[in-house]
Structure 1
Amino acid sequence: MLKFIRYACLVLIVAIGGVWAHAWFTRAPGQDVGEAFAQRLASIFGQSMPVPNVGGGVQLPSGVSLGGPFSLTRQDGQAVTERDYAGKWMLLYFGYTYCPDVCPTELGRIADVLDAMGPAGEQVTPMMITIDPDRDTQAVMADYVSRFHPRMQGLTGTSEQVAEAARRFRVFYQKVQPREMNEYLMDHSSFIYLVGPDGRVRTLYRPETSVDDMARSVAMQMRSNASR
């Protein structure tokens, strides 16, 4: 029995070493060997392994799913649903145009990520969904998102439509009225969502995630998906 266990361990070590060597020699240009190794193991075990976390991205726990059906209106007046984005990658942010600080910062960071990715960034749709539909009309959204990236889309809708989309992504938001201000503000969670071609969130990025780390993470997710 002991000999069998030793033999099995030896076979396992040799097999892992073989997969590592294969990953080393067949990895894509610029791809980390650890990433390539994880992809090869995922292919062996039926794609059941998640892509490794990189640079501040939040991997969703097993069994947790974000994203799904929504029905909103794009800044050009076109009604859209999640089906209009099937097969596409998105970097999505929930914010509002009257936001004084974090929203413009995060949208600018999305634009920088796409630029940092080079040609691969053209495969990613940048998007903002408003959490303040009372003020963020189509015209307001069109002007606002155009300031950050020429391909950025801004989605708005009725209060009910926005609330449903936010619920799908588990976004917190509420109105707050500072005493010293006439206009209200919106208190809200602040994550950038990487949404895969299946309409589900692959990774969440915190505000402190650097542009370079996010660009590498998005590229890794896209390569992993393409190898399946």
Structure 2
Amino acid sequence: MRLSGLQKILWVLAGVAALVFGWLLLWSDYRADRAQTEYEPPFVAEFELTDHQGMTRTEGDFAGRWMLVFFGFANCPDVCPTTLAEVAAVMDGLGDEAEKVQPIFITIDPERDTPAALADFVPRFDAGIVGLTGTPEQIAETSETFPIFYERIEDASAPDGYTMGHTSHLFLFDPEAGFADSWPYGTPAEEILADLRERI
């Protein structure tokens, strides 16, 4: 049976409508996934590590306080000291509200960053930062929990012949240890401070 010109047009329109409907369904699923990724806390801070005074610490030790968490290493030539200097500026800017926030530095280089090494490193920033380290296995487990990326990079010009590549975001967790926000490397202390003040 041959189709008339009108029937052909109707079939084409029906096909186009089906394609548009399918595309809209896929787009709505994509938007839902993006919304969930961007706006719902995807994880909580969980760790059991040793601080720079040799004490075992978990996220429970900081319950009721906001946590500013940064992953790095003491031999870092630029990103880590710059970020911790920004954290120090934020803590200073908080004034009396600083007691509501605990800055935490977690090493991704446990081979060199012993408690003693961190005890020499974190007080330089004069911000009450708690330095945390552990066994390589503990650090790996913690990195998966948060989650963050890090890797050892062989470099003959670096101390001990290697450096570390790692996620350079500064993370914020709420008083229940739920993820609240993060800022990329280079975010000015003033911007972080303004965001924090709105929350606490």
Say which of 177, 181, 203 aligns to 2:181: 203
Where 1:151 maps in the other structure, the secondary structure is coil
TM-score by length of 1: 0.68
Which one is further off, 95-104 or 175-184?
175-184
Paired position in structure 2 for 1:121 = 98
2:39, 2:127 → 1: CA distance?
36
Paired position in structure 1 for 2:49 = 72
Tell me, yes or no, if structure 1 residue 103 matches structure 2 residue 63. no
Look up the equivalent residue of 2:59 and give its one-letter code: E
- Aligned-pair CA distance for 1:76: 0.6
Tell me the number of residue pairs that the alignment of Structure 1 and Structure 2 aligns: 164
Paired position in structure 1 for 2:61 = 84
In structure 2, runs of 5+ residues without a counterpart are 1-35
Where 1:155 maps in the other structure, the secondary structure is strand
Say which of 148, 159, 169 aligns to 1:191: 169
Where 1:72 maps in the other structure, the secondary structure is strand
- Aligned-pair CA distance for 1:70: 1.2
- Aligned-pair CA distance for 1:183: 2.0
1:107, 1:99 → 2: CA distance?
11
1:139, 1:97 → 2: CA distance?
11
Contact conserved, 2:41 with 2:179, CA < 8 A, in 1?
no
Contact conserved, 1:60 with 1:202, CA < 8 A, in 2?
no
Alignment root-mean-square deviation, CA: 1.7
1:86, 1:122 → 2: CA distance?
12
Q: Describe how 1:11-30 pairs up with structure 2 within 5 A.
A: none
Where 2:175 maps in the other structure, the secondary structure is coil
Tell me, yes or no, if structure 1 residue 163 matches structure 2 residue 152. no
- 1:54-74: CA deviation from partner (whole Å, max 9, x where unpaired): xxxxx9614451333211001
Larger Rg: 2
- 1:145-184: CA deviation from partner (whole Å, max 9, x where unpaired): 0000251110000111111111111110000012444520
**Structure with higher helix content:** 2
Paired position in structure 2 for 1:220 = 198
- 1:123-144: CA deviation from partner (whole Å, max 9, x where unpaired): 2111100000010000000110
Alpha-carbon distance change, 185 to 202 in structure 1, aligned in 2, over 3 angstroms: same
